[in-house]
Amino acid sequence: MISAMEDKFAIEELVARYNQSLDQGRYEEFLACWCEDGVFDGLGGHYAGLAAIRKFTDGYDTGYRLRLNGLKHFTVNILSRIDGDQASSSSHLQLVCTGTKGARILFTGLYEDKLRRVEGEWRFSHRTLLQDMPLESA
């Protein structure tokens, strides 16, 4: 039971690292959240492998983070299911901008994740973002 709790906590930490590193432009740390063959589906794109996910960060930086100033991912209601060195997880997301126009929710959605333990660390093998509120035009 303790091992399952430790795994769930480690997955919550992974989600927090993903959020904070993306929000703060620490992209090497963000990329370390992914398996080498990781896949991200969301924001209108399909990014397969670390090279493609790195390209996503380039577009994210110029398209959102630098232009909007003060982006913050808030992920809640994290539910994880552990099966050895594989796991699945789902969580709700709010993307908030705290920039010059005042705080506002840009969009909400649901993350559906597949995770894999690599060298003792949980990483995303496939992350899907399902938006349920469209991205606000900034």
Strands (E), the chain: 34-42, 45-48, 71-83, 86-97, 104-118, 121-133
Mean pLDDT of the residues in the chain: 91
The number of distinct structural domains making up the chain is: 1
Domain of residue 89, residue span: 2-133
Q: Is residue 32 part of a domain?
A: yes
Q: Is residue 23 part of a domain?
A: yes
Q: How far apart are CA 49 and CA 35, in angstroms?
A: 8
Give the CATH number for residue 128.
Answer: 3.10.450.50
Structure pTM? Answer: 0.90
Residue 10 inside a domain? The answer is yes
* Residue 138: inside a domain: no
Using one digit for the tens of pLDDT, what is the confidence trace for 19-64? Answer: 999 999 999 999 999 999 999 999 879 999 999 999 999 887 776 7
Asked whether residue 117 is domain-assigned, the answer is yes
pLDDT tens digits for 77-98? 999 999 999 999 999 999 998 8
Distance between CA atoms of residues 29 and 18, nearest Å: 8
Any domain includes 88: yes
